Amino acid sequence: STDVCGYLVEILSGQSLDEFLSTRIFKPLNMVDTHFQLPKNKIPRFTSNYINNIPKKFRKLAKVLGISFNPDGKLMAIDHADSSEFTENITFFSGGGGLVSTTKDYLQFCKMILNKGALNGARILGPKTMELITEDHLKFIPHEGGPLSLPNNGTSFGLGFSVVKNNAAKEIIGSVGTHGWGGAAGTFFGIDPKEDLIFILMIQLVDFNNLKISNTFQTMVYQSIVE
């Protein structure tokens, strides 16, 4: 659990996760729009989060997870920008899903990862640490793949990233060794060291077809490579 990791960071550093990330990562990487609690002057730039139609076979699961949805299948806002929980007083800094950001800021983070832990003179992680983070850590642990499992077909898992192991099994063009992850509302990123490539998809839509959306996006990215 990344939330547990976040708590361990607080215990070991003696800082709140908010303060630790700001000091060690956000400020050195000039990530000026990444927050646990959104400043009031940035609310006009914030987007609402929506939910699309949920297929009937997934509706029971959605209810168990506490996901609201519109039974008639119409698009529905489930977290309004001007009244979002991210605009309220945050007391729990969730390592697994507590941050809001921008594409520009997240690109800075991804560039640091692609550059083996450093960017613009700021060293965040050592090169050997980055190697360890992006290795397959499930190599000797049996796990079932599938379209709805994590990791799914053709991928394994490093320390916080999915890692592509087999493009044929994944059934999508790309590069072995690409690492990345996605979010519940459709955000998705990939870092491809072989192509020196970063791709980021930022949407705010809870949809059980998000895997299809991200796969289509990735296919379009790789189809644009001509040399």
Q: What is the pLDDT of residues 85-102, one digit of tens each?
A: 899 899 899 998 899 999
Whole-angstrom distance, CA of residue 185 vs CA of residue 67: 11
What's the order of all strands across the beta sheet hosting 179-182? 155-157, 162-164, 179-182, 188-192, 197-201
Task: Tell me what pLDDT residue 1 has.
Answer: 79
Decide: helix, strand or coil at residue 55. coil
pLDDT digits (tens, 9 = 90+) for 12-65: 999 999 999 999 999 999 999 999 999 999 999 999 998 876 667 667 777 776
CB count in 10 Å sphere of residue 26: 21
pTM (2 d.p.): 0.87
Residue 146 has pLDDT above 60, yes or no: no
Task: Tell me what pLDDT residue 152 has.
Answer: 65
Task: Tell me what pLDDT residue 61 has.
Answer: 72
Whole-angstrom distance, CA of residue 134 vs CA of residue 164: 10
| Residue 147: pLDDT band with limits 50, 70, 90 | very low
In whole angstroms, how far apart are CA 122 and each of 26, 128, 223?
A: 11, 16, 33
Closest to 78 measured CA to CA, from 50, 116, 57: 50
